Structure 1
Amino acid sequence: MAKCTRCGRKGFFLKLTNGLCDNCVSTVRMEQEQAALKAQMEEISAKLSDQKALFERISADAYADGVAKAKAKNAELTTQNLQIEERILAGKKNLVELSEKEEKSRKSAANAEQKVRRCKELIKAIQHANEAFGTDDQEVGDLEKLLNEADGLMSPTVTLTLQCLDMKDLRKRYKENEKNIQATFEKYKDRYTTKANITIYRLMVIALSAELQNVLNNVGFGKLDDALNDIKTITNKYYVIAADGNQSIAPTVKKFIGELDYYFQEAVKIEYEYYVQKERAKEEQRAIREQMRQEAEERRELERQQKQIEKEESKFHDQISQLSQQMADSVDDEKTALLKARIEELQKQLAAVAEQKDKIVELQNGKAGNVYVISNIGSFGEGVFKIGMTRRLEPMDRVNELGSASVPFPFDVHSMIFSDDAVSLETKLHHILNDQRVNKVNLRKEFFRVSLDDLEKLVGEIAPTADFKRTVLAEQYRQSLSISHVAENPDASEEEDDEEEDEV
């Protein structure tokens, strides 16, 4: 009788499979299937656990990235809010100053107008006295009275507070110019002998002084030419008035007014310099805010590029690690050689990425950057160059940005100078070329009128290793000129085509 090796049961079996009876064979088969299913379940559970861990890691990375972006956006909005509040406060301050100035101007203008009216009435009275009664002292009893009134009006007429007097250097210049005006008054006063001529002269001095105050009172930024034209109109008007009164004194009056015109214009220029300096200070503040905004933008861009490079660096490390493991497990010499070559290629790419990363860190932590020298003859003409600075990893991004902002043509790059202290290098170049600035008020406008030879020499002295391109391509500008020329002279284009065919 046969015996089952598993259950030990004895009997007459038709067939024993591996020494097992039919029942035990079925049982073993079921146990094996259960074990296989259990192994599959464990494998699936392990994969699920890995997927869960991956999901948690991705979620954590996404959350951290979202928090970082939110913080950056919050910082940006906070900066913008502070800037807006600063502008509001500055606007309120300017409004108060303008209101006070308007009130002073109104009072000063009313006072000056009153004095001018009195002077004109006195001049009319004296002219009437001369024409109707002659110049005899006995016949013109009121003449002495008019002279005394004129002497009373000769006292200082400057009742308004000029803005230039608030600045020490301008105050000194204005006082010196005022002394020159008074000296001119005194120099010509003794040239007249008759009381009528003396009176005409004195009244003219009073009226001119009052008119000058009116002009100074209306000076503002951007109004220099208007003020100087007003001075010229006033001096011409009073010359005509004085010459009509007495032709004999016309040559002397003309010379007197000519000298006075120069000093009056100087007074206007000195007062105007206050507004220029005030505007320059505003522009400097705007430049600081713009620089802060640009630096913040560049920092954010560098941070974004740093994260991207770190991801690439991690990817290269992972690939090299995987390939190294494959190479260690490989027994095929040909496959090993291919894996080694691929690893060397990835290591070169990794070195380039590491170099970029180091450069970004240097740009973030120090004053390093690129100083660019660019031109745009289509927009600004020849001999005008912009000298600026950028901390961007790709400096041409900034140049392209400038070329696509508010100008019709892109810029040509003459030099791109990398420096560990780009701020100081830019400042040095600006200082050397300060007298050749195109805009001498707004220092944010970094344009300079200088010859290409002088600029090349200057760059060579400051940065001997920097390249300098003398060629001004201006491709789009020249193509535009060519298209305009063809459009304006279509016959000339046909003639050129005919000449080319004849040559062929």
Structure 2
Amino acid sequence: MLMEQEQSKIKADIEVLKEELSDHQKLYDRIAQEAREKGTAQAKEEEKEISARVEDLRKVVDEQSAKLNDILDQKAKAEKSVAASERKVLRSRELVKAIQHACETFDSLDDGHEAKQAAEDAEEFLKPTVTLNLQCLDMRDLRKRYRQNEKNIEKTLEKYKSRYTTKTNMTIYRLMVIALSAELQNVLHNISYGKLEDALQDIKTITQKYYDIATDGNQNIAPTVKKFIGEIDYYFQEAVKIEYEYYVQKERAREEQRAIREQMRQEAEERRELERQRKQIEKEESKFQDQIGQLNEQMAQSQDDEKTKLLQARIEELQRQLASVSEQREKIVQLQNGKAGNVYVISNIGSFGENVFKIGMTRRLEPMDRVNELGNASVPFPFDVHSLIFSDDAVGLETKLHHMLNDQRVNKVNLRKEFFRVSLDDIEKLVEEVAPTAEFKRTALAEQYRQSLSITHVSENPASSSEDDGEEE
């Protein structure tokens, strides 16, 4: 009977365990099913995101490919245009030489008839050829200015055309106008970035040359020709400046692209540095937490009240240090993930003189590292810091300040050179306007610069220095 009772009890326990096992199996199946569903949903979501990113990248590739094809087409057209222009210029140069020769030997022409005929033939020849495909005509604002300048030139030519009554003087004038137009086209064709002064000087040389040629042939028209040359010289120089503005704007666009690439490179470098600092701080946090945990265990096991107080004080000190380290870590995370950073306003009197300030931005945890780096680069003296402005959108703040001071830029072509010529009072007002709580230091110490001046003064006046030494003795 006891055995039967024991068997019955064991069977009952087995049934209970079976029920529990069944419940656990159901729970396991349910958890596994939920995990599968969740994983599948997450995988589908990630697949959608990846597909969207792939599609975006494909669109970017297609757009860039289309742009590249357009650029290649434009390049081919430009090369053809340049070749045609060069052929036209060569033909124009030969014509100019012929016209100059006609002007110099004008007295040998019979009653001006041959000269007049030569001018008419040259004028007809130049009509389809002298107009080059100028670069400035590709920009709307420059095209408008150039067309207006062309109208001014035409008005001037027509105005002076009516002042010549004899066929001989009219022929000289027409020949000179044709030759001047061809010379202007040559100058405009050969202009390039950084060669503005050379081009303007070429215009002055050309106008002076044709004035000398015309007045040598006939002194009676010298006053009128002189006045005409003076007016046409101004409009020719304007044409050169307008064409040159195209190259300035192209250079500015290239510099902007360089600035963007440099900023991206600098930001990537700063992010890498922030990541390195974050990992280092996390290690320090781990050390503090481990030390605090060990001290808590010692305090729990300690029976000595004095030792417990010491342990408690040490724990509190470590907790304060841990809080400081955690605050630094949070700041680094903020700098990494957002647009936060510091905008700096600095000057360097020894390198750039008074009232020249550099306004830049850095995401570094210690902004002075960037300022010191600039001072160690390629300037003879370190920078003085007038203001450091922390902002959640440092890039936007820097752009806003640059925009407000755009007219005071020192370098208006290379926008990477973030220097502005502005008074100390104006820059202080500007900082107060955009960041009322930011500190601003008006004093520029320029210690090394002033010490260098002092040393230079002493070396240039050794006699006065020795007299001072004698008086001290």
**CA distances 1:191-239 after superposition (whole Å, capped 9, x unpaired):** 0111111111111111111110111011101001111111111111111
Displacement of 1:285 after TM fit?
Answer: 1.0
**CA distances 1:148-205 after superposition (whole Å, capped 9, x unpaired):** 3354356365342111111122111111111111111001000011111111111111
Q: Which residue of 1 aligns with 2:171?
A: 199
The answer to whether residue 94 in structure 2 is matched with residue 122 in structure 1 is no
Q: Which residue of 1 aligns with 2:277?
A: 305
Q: Which residue of 2 aligns with 1:170?
A: 142
Q: Which amino acid aligns with 1:459?
A: V
The answer to whether residue 89 in structure 2 is matched with residue 109 in structure 1 is yes
Contact 1:373 1:416 in 2 (8 A): yes
Q: Which amino acid aligns with 1:474?
A: A
Contact 2:85 2:133 in 1 (8 A): no
User: Equivalent residue of 2:236, what SS?
Assistant: helix
Contact 1:126 1:196 in 2 (8 A): no
Displacement of 1:101 after TM fit?
Answer: 7.3
Contact 2:95 2:122 in 1 (8 A): no
Q: Which amino acid aligns with 2:277?
A: Q
Query: What are the residue-to-residue correspondences of 1:88-167 with 2, within 5 Å?
Result: 103-104=83-84, 106-129=86-109, 137=111, 141-153=113-125, 155=127, 157-167=129-139
Change over 3 Å in CA distance of 1:420–1:223 after alignment to 2: same
Q: Which residue of 2 aligns with 1:44?
A: none
User: Equivalent residue of 2:378, what SS?
Assistant: coil
Q: Which amino acid aligns with 2:248?
A: V
- Identical positions, percent: 74
Paired residue total: 405
Change over 3 Å in CA distance of 1:100–1:386 after alignment to 2: farther
Contact 1:154 1:202 in 2 (8 A): no
Q: Which residue of 2 aligns with 1:377?
A: 349
The answer to whether residue 330 in structure 2 is matched with residue 330 in structure 1 is no
What is the rounded CA distance, in whole Å, between the counterparts of 1:143 and 1:262 in structure 2?
28
Which has the greater radius of gyration? 1
User: Equivalent residue of 2:365, what SS?
Assistant: coil
The answer to whether residue 345 in structure 2 is matched with residue 345 in structure 1 is no
Displacement of 1:145 after TM fit?
Answer: 2.7
TM-score between the two structures when normalised by the length of structure 2: 0.81
Change over 3 Å in CA distance of 1:141–1:384 after alignment to 2: closer
What is the rounded CA distance, in whole Å, between the counterparts of 2:450 and 2:307 in structure 1?
57
What is the rounded CA distance, in whole Å, between the counterparts of 1:293 and 1:151 in structure 2?
57
Contact 1:283 1:444 in 2 (8 A): yes
What is the rounded CA distance, in whole Å, between the counterparts of 2:331 and 2:77 in structure 1?
49
User: Equivalent residue of 2:342, what SS?
Assistant: strand
Contact 1:371 1:422 in 2 (8 A): yes
User: Equivalent residue of 1:225, what SS?
Assistant: helix
- From 374, 386, 408, the equivalent of 1:436 is 408
Q: Is 115-124 or 409-418 further displaced after alignment?
A: 115-124
Q: Which amino acid aligns with 2:107?
A: Q
What is the rounded CA distance, in whole Å, between the counterparts of 1:442 and 1:492 in structure 2?
47
Displacement of 1:499 after TM fit?
Answer: 4.0
The answer to whether residue 468 in structure 2 is matched with residue 496 in structure 1 is yes
Unpaired runs of at least 5, structure 1 = 1-88
Q: Which residue of 2 aligns with 1:423?
A: 395
User: Equivalent residue of 1:230, what SS?
Assistant: helix
Q: Which residue of 2 aligns with 1:245?
A: 217
Q: Which residue of 1 aligns with 2:252?
A: 280
Contact 2:295 2:315 in 1 (8 A): yes
Contact 1:370 1:416 in 2 (8 A): yes
